[in-house]
Structure formats: structure tokens, C-alpha cells
Chain A
Amino acid sequence: MSITIQTADEQHRKEWDDVVESSSHGTLFHTWKWLNIVQRHTNSEFLPLVAYKGTQLIAIYPVFIQKKGIFKLAFSPPSQSYLLYLGPVIREYDTMKQDKKESLLVDLQEAVNTYLFSERDCKYIRIRSSPGIYDSRFFTWTGFSVEPQYTYRINLSGGIDAVWASFDRKLRVDINKAIREKVEVRQGDYEDLLAVSELLSQRFREQGFKTNEYRDYLTDLYNEFHPENFKIFIAYHNGQRAGGMISLCFKQIMYLWIGVPKSKIPGLSPNDLVQWEAIQWASENGYTFYEEMDGGDRRLRGFKAKYNPELVIWYTAVRYRSSYYRWIEKMSRLM
């Protein structure tokens, strides 16, 4: 039976979120509410694609179309959304037999490609699939170039003492020092969110990137997801904010989503204590993993790896509608 692609609307909302819940690679970013907020803040057209086999909904595939000049480009996730990955979610993927997974992924991707290239006239598709789909052949076999990416996960199921013992020795010294120096970590509120947003923009400016305005985007997410799925941890030293992060909680995983730049206080690492407090909170509240998002950034490898996380793989897949567009892109990279 072939797969048909439709776009979902408000009526499909519950069914959509049920699929997200049903598989381990469904994340908070895939939820209907989150995606609709993304649409409002990314200057893109949201295509909530749903795949049916007969009358059964078998997968969801959120795609955002953005225009560059006269070209329509399809992304999942879209740029400027501060999302590392998104991609498809297959209903009850984890319990399927290997051969069923394989056929479904290939058929689904072919159907989505046809829809985006033929019906939507897109010239380019970029998918960043979420961890949990470890098979990337469905991309390769349907014409994509695929690159493996990584994220870091700390397994909390062995208990918090085992997590602490596995940290780098210098990290434990730094955390203890921050405690001795009376750095205090508290869960933050809307005021703290605005401070994080400002620090984020400042960091992009310092790194030479064009600054995006994340304040309204973060505010909408805060209003929708705080406090259950969206948490802010802030470090205070001498009454001043000295570090912090925004973390997300969904199913069995707590995510370090946005961290603030490292402290300028000499000899003190408030962010290490922030992260340790968040890990303890996740462990006490029954989460199985703590994810330090993005293990592929060499600049941040040292900071993240000292917590001794495991590497978890995910993929970036790119396809051009024709070799002409691919050639232009390749040549422009070489210039």
C-alpha cells in the first residue's frame, strides 16, 4: 500500500502529538504547540505533513518553507529557530521489526520528496533528523547527501553518585569551589529569561554573527511551556547573575538547550555549578538522560565532554532538486 502525504490542521493536533509521544525520537520540538510558535518567528511557511497508509497515520513530518530570492527551500528545522534537529517521527518506531522500519522510511521519504519538489516547487531540502533514527540509508537512497552529527547524553539511570564520580576531576574541584564561593543556583522566572535572551544576542554579536531577535520567540515558548517543559536555571554570585541556562524537559530526557556565555569572574565557573544543579534536578525528577545538545562543535567540546557524556548520533541530509543548484552551491563554497 502506497503512502499518501497530506498537510495537517488544528483538527489533527491530538493525533500529531500522539505520534510524537509514541517514539523515542519524538522531541518537544516536534509538538504541535512548539512548531506553531516556530512558524510565527521564522518568517516561514509551516507544512505539518502527515503520512497515511490507507487510513492509518504512520508518520508526521514537519517542514518549513523559506524563500531565498526566487527560490523556495524546505527545511526541518528552519534556520533562525535555534533548533538543532527535527525531521520525521514514525509512529511506534522503536517496536517495529528492522525490515518494516526500512521499507517505511524509504517509502515515506520518497513521498515527501515528491510532494516538496513537484507540488511545492522547492529547489532544495535540508533535514536534520533527531537522535533515535540511526538508519540514514533512506536519505541516501532517495538522493540526499548525508552527514553524521553528534549530541551528548549523560545516562542518569545509574544514580546521581555514579554521575558525579564519572565527571572529570577538575570539574568536580571547580563545582566545589563555586559552592564554597557561595554561588547560588535558583530556578529562574521571566526576568531571567529576558537576561538570557540579551546574553544570547550579545554572544552572537561577539562571534561576528548577524544578531537575531530571540526575545519574542523565547517569550512565547516560556508562556506556553514554562514551568513543566521549559526551565531556567540561574547562578547568582554576590547578588548578581553570573551564569545560567534554559533547559527543556520532555519524556525521559532533560535537555541543555541554551547556555549563557562563560563567566568573566576570575577563577570561578558558575555555569559548571548550574549544569550540575540541573543534572541533579533531572535525576531527582525521574529523567533517564540529560542531553548537552550538540556534540559536534569543536569549540565547546572541552566544556561539554568533561561531564563524561556518551555520544549519540543524528544526521544532516541535503538534496537539491537538480544538479544545477548543487553545482552553484559547491562552486560558491569554493570561492
Chain B
Amino acid sequence: MELKIIGEGEKEIWDNAVHSSPHGTIFHTWKWLKIVERHSFKQTFTGNYPSKLYPLAVFQDSKIIGLLPVFCYTLPFLKMVTSPAIAVENYYLGPVMGDVQDLKPETQQIMLMDFQSEIDNFIKNTLHPKFILVHTSPHFTDIRPYKWSGYEVEPRYTYEIDLTRGKDAIWENFGKNLKYYIRRTEKEGVTVEEGSRDDGKFIYDLLKQRERIHPREDFLLEIFDNFSPGDLHVFIARQNNKNLTGIIILTYKNSVIFWLGAPKLSIRGIIPNELVIWKSIAWAIENGYERYEIMVADDLSLFPFKRKFNGTLLPFYTLRWRSPFFRLVDAVYHGIRPRYR
């Protein structure tokens, strides 16, 4: 096996591998990663430290076995490697294995173990981080090689709705209350339309006011300019020609992801956020998509909202590795202040 850092000239090879893998998402695409690299930084009390992207690929006999895009941050006392980048609204990234679906499970497992070992050797021996943090993408299910290499593994979840069941079946699966209030919201004159760049800015402002978004506005606009109208769509709810709320969705392969938006909104008797999501689900069905993801199902504060749509749980994983010194620091710190109370 051979590990390579992929350069600009090989971005097509990278994107083809991402596209053909069940683990590949829009967040793994070359264009997305390069935008993220420009906007991600680690903020500390001594200043902001920019990210450096390492698009790592492992080859065997000139065929890609797997990819891992990692971002490296060099702080005064800590070098850290993460995948995805920090503070750019990416909930997961992680490894992408080559198109291995036709291989026997045992062959897939051995390939994954070899891939993980190659990547880990490079990261630990070349980048020398004190801390590695990876959030894998959904459908990446076998994380045993990471456990066996000393990573702490935490299960995470996202919600996915199977659109192939059809609009009626999905609607029927919603709770009574949700259906009633969606109908009522429409009766009260709330409409949902595809929105513009300015509507995207409106959603950003709403999220910023509620401190529910990290990056600066120019990150969102650069993403918009590069991915709309093909892979990025804005849906906006209006009443009496006034914007109420909205969401930004991403499309990739046969999936739609509800990425940003739907900030908490209290308007008596109507639920514009739920209506926007329902309309975007209907749009996704009409446009032939098969899956609709409501990202991240394990944030307890957002759980009551996201669970209403009765999506199926899809696991992904958070992997953490710390150097021995940081393990000691962590044990002392979390002994005094436990992670879970």
C-alpha cells in the first residue's frame, strides 16, 4: 500500500473516489474541502490558527483503497488533526473507503485495517499531533480498527427518511399534531418557495442572532456561489410577503441533506419551520431523490424538533485519540468536571 497527499492536479481522481463510495458525501468533495480550508481556524486566547488540509489517499496497485481528508491546526502548545474541520458547520467527514460493496465482508475488513494503519502511521509520525478527532460519515459502520488502535469511540446519530416510500406514506408517518399544525400553517397563508442568495443571507442572520452558527457569512456565501443552484437549494417560508424562516439543503448523489436553518421561532398557532422541512421533503421526492437526512439526532436541545419527522436513526461515530500526556490531562480534567452529568 502507498499513501499519497493528493494535489490540485489529481482532484478528479479524488472526486471520482468520493462519488463511487457509499461513505462519500458532498463534504468530501474537493471543492467543498478547499473552501472549508480557507475559512476554518482554531480560536484560542492567544489568537486564531488557520487550518491546513491534507487530502490523504491510500493506493494499492494504483487503485484507491480509501481516502481521509484531515485538517491540521498548529497551536502554541498543541498540534491537532481533525476531520471535519473546526467551526464550519460540518458534522461529519472521516474516511471514505473505495468502492468495496462487491467484496466479501472479510476482505473489506482486512482492507480497512490496512488502510487505517497506513493513515495512522502518517498522521502520528509525520504530523505529530497531540490530539486527533474524527467524526465519520454515516454508513461507515466498522470502527473496530480504530478501537484496536487506541481511539476512544463514541456512537452518534443522524436521522434519515426513506423517500422511496412515497409522499403519502411519509406524511402518514408524522404524528397527528405535526400534520394538524402543518395544515394550519398553510391555511394561515404561510407559503414556501425556493429562495435566493439574499434569502440564504436572511437565514444566516437568523442563526447568528440565536448563536447557532459558527463561521462568518462570507463562508456561507462562498459555498452558495460554488454549489447553487446544482447542489444547494434555499427554501424560505413567507407570510404576507415577509420572510419568516428558511432552510438550506444540499443534494449529492441520491440524497438530500437538511444542512442549515430552521432557527427556533415562536409564532402562536403556526409552525413555519416544520412546513419548510415538509415542503423540501416533497420537493426531494418530486425530483427523484431517495433519502432525506435531517442532520444530527443526538443533540438533546434539538431532539424534540428533529424527532417529529419520524426518521430512521443512522449511526456515525466520533473517534478521539490523545497522546499519553493529554490522556492524563483529560483524566484529571474530566475527573473534576465529567463530560456527562
User: CB within 8 Å of B: which residues of A?
Assistant: 97-99, 102, 134-137, 140-141, 143-148, 150, 166, 168, 295-296, 298, 301, 305-306, 308-311, 313, 315, 319-320, 323, 326-327, 330-331, 333-334
Contacts and interface: CB of A to CB of B under 8 A. Distances in A.
B147 to A, nearest CB: 7
Shortest 9 CB-CB distances between A and B: which pairs? A327-B335, A330-B331, A305-B106, A323-B338, A143-B340, A148-B155, A136-B155, A98-B310, A298-B148
B315 interface: yes
Contacts of A330: 331, 334-335
B335 A311 contact: no
B339 interface: yes
Interface of B: 104-106, 109, 141-144, 147-148, 153-155, 157, 173, 175, 297-298, 300, 303, 307-308, 310-313, 315, 317, 327-328, 331-332, 334-341
Contact of A146 (B144, B154, B297, B313): B154
B334 A141 contact: no
Given A135-B313, A313-B315, A148 B307 contact: no
B104 to A, nearest CB: 5
Given A145-B339, A326-B338, A331-B331, 8 more contacts: A99-B308, A102-B307, A141-B300, A150-B144, A166-B104, A305-B106, A306-B106, A330-B334
A148 B153 contact: yes
Contacts of A306: 106
A308 B311 contact: no
B310 A97 contact: yes
Contacts of A146: 154-155
Nearest to A135: B313
A147 B313 CA distance: 17
A140 to B, nearest CB: 7
Contacts of A147: 147, 153-154
Given A99-B307, A305-B106, A311-B105, A296 B338 contact: no
A320 B105 CA distance: 37
Contact of B312 (A98, A313, A323, A327): A98
A330 B152 CA distance: 13
Contacts of A141: 300
B337 A323 contact: yes
B335 A326 contact: yes
Q: Identify the interface centre among A148, A295, A296: most chain B CB within 10 Å of its CB.
A: A148
A323 to B, nearest CB: 4
Contacts of B341: 143
Given A99-B175, A137-B157, A311 B313 contact: no
A134 B141 CA distance: 12
A193 to B, nearest CB: 31
Contacts of B331: 327, 330-331, 333-334
A84 to B, nearest CB: 15
A321 B94 CA distance: 34
Contacts of B328: 334
Contact of B340 (A97, A144, A301, A334): A144
Contacts of B334: 323, 326, 330
Nearest to B307: A99
B298 A323 contact: no
Contacts of A334: 327-328, 331
Contacts of B311: 98
A134 B297 CA distance: 13
Contact of A323 (B109, B175, B310, B335): B335
Nearest to B104: A308
Contacts of B144: 150, 295-296, 298, 301
A146 B155 CA distance: 7
Contacts of B155: 136, 140, 146, 148, 315
Contacts of A134: 313, 315
A136 B332 CA distance: 26
B337 to A, nearest CB: 7
Contacts of A310: 105
A305 B144 CA distance: 13
Nearest to B331: A330
A168 B103 CA distance: 12
Nearest to A136: B155
A323 B335 CA distance: 6
Nearest to A304: B106
Nearest to A323: B338
A309 B340 contact: no
Contact of A97 (B105, B109, B173): B173
